[in-house]
Amino acid sequence: MTERSFRFTHAVTRRPGPDVVSGLRAVDTGAPDLDRFLGHHAAYVAALRATGAEVVELDPLDGFPDAVFVEDTALCLPEGAIIMRPGAPSRLGETEGMTPVLERIYGEVRRVAGPGFIEGGDILTTEREILVGRSARTDADGIAELAGIVADWGYRLREVTVPAGVLHFKTDCSLLDAETILATERLAASGCFDGYRVIHTAEGEEAAANAIRFNNVVIMAAGFPRTREALDAAGYATVEIGNAEAAKLDGGMSCLSLRFTPPA
Ligand code: CIR
């Protein structure tokens, strides 16, 4: 069994800028504090680097308050990168900032041209398949176009449904290893992870589900002690990063990076 769905040589991140205070949010719990966000972001980048990965840190993208959530702009696979087509109108233009970055690393990149929409937060790549959640941001046309784009690389795409009120598929789940998914009960109850081992987030700690397995560590948002305990007990090496500011914009650990190993 390969481990290419969670062992990576590279990551791309983008620092939040002053206009992050206007980022999209389902419920307004106040604007994120930029200095605090920058502190959490620096700790996140340091945690990625500590695993030996090369992290490309991009400058804030003026005029795009949600650009810190780079995950939504692309899907990066070992064979190539695909630029997404975000379903949030205010985020559509973020892809232009990401395209040259990925072209520098990968050479040519592919792109979802539309008319459909798809955001990276709805895509979970495992060793055996690519799961794509249909959500308020990702529609059937976007999923169909992505399926066509990755078909010649041998990938099987499986569409799953994101529960109402949940922003992205990966808001509620993460890959822990080739066989194991961390998920909320509400998402796993749909049966979408049948055939995988599932570790549930603790009750009341649903926001812990958006974590990342990155090389030897599982990077998770701070403040979810019972879920962390469950992961530690299952043998994962967990690292906690403050997420209070990103959480005000419905963002978490996966949203803050693109993680990949480009072709040699
Ligand atoms: C948005 O609503 O698009 C941002 N405020 C949060 C994006 C989070 N991204 C992700 O889960 N991949």
Question: Which pLDDT value is given to residue 134?
Answer: 98
User: In which region does residue 19 sit, left (phi positive, over 0), alpha (psi from -120 to 50) or beta (all else)?
Assistant: alpha
Residue 153 three-state SS: coil
| End-to-end Cα distance, the chain | 20
The CATH superfamily label for domain 10-260 reads L-arginine/glycine Amidinotransferase; Chain A (3.75.10.10)
CA distance 49 to 56: 10
What's the whole-number mean pLDDT along residues 59-79?
98
Per-domain boundaries in the chain? 10-260
What's the whole-number mean pLDDT along residues 160-182?
97
CA distance 208 to 184: 9
Question: Which pLDDT value is given to residue 264?
Answer: 84
Measured in Å, residue 264 CA sits from the centre of ligand 1 at 31
Measured in Å, residue 1 CA sits from the centre of ligand 1 at 31
Q: Is the pLDDT of residue 43 over 80?
A: yes
What's the whole-number mean pLDDT along residues 221-232?
98
pLDDT tens digits, 87-111: 999 999 999 999 999 999 999 999 9
Asked, as a colleague might, if the bond just before 115 is cis with ω within 30 of 0, I would say yes
CA 33 to chain CA centroid, nearest Å: 22
Q: Is the pLDDT of residue 33 over 80?
A: yes
Mutate to test the pocket of ligand 1, among 19, 70, 72 (most ligand atoms within 8 A of CB): 72
Residue 49: pLDDT band (50, 70, 90) is very high
Q: Is 66 in the pocket of ligand 1 (CB under 6 A)?
A: yes
What's the whole-number mean pLDDT along residues 55-76?
98
pLDDT tens digits, 99-151: 999 999 999 999 999 999 999 999 999 999 999 999 999 999 999 999 999 99
Q: Is the pLDDT of residue 235 over 90?
A: yes
Q: Is 245 in the pocket of ligand 1 (CB under 6 A)?
A: no
**In the chain, pLDDT over 90 holds for what percent of residues?**
99
CA distance 76 to 4: 11
Closest CA to 94 of 74, 110, 123, 124: 74
Q: Is the pLDDT of residue 174 over 80?
A: yes
- Closest ligand 1 atom, residue 254 Cα: 12
Q: Is the pLDDT of residue 1 over 80?
A: no
Closest CA to 183 of 163, 159, 153: 163
CA distance 151 to 154: 5
- Closest ligand 1 atom, residue 252 Cα: 11
Q: How many residues make up the chain in this entry?
A: 264
Please state, rounded to an integer, the average pLDDT across all residues of the chain.
97
Measured in Å, residue 111 CA sits from the centre of ligand 1 at 20
Verify whether residue 255 is a known catalytic residue. Answer: yes
CA distance 176 to 240: 15
Q: What is the pTM of this model?
A: 0.98
CA distance 84 to 122: 11
β-sheet bridge partners, residue 241:
221
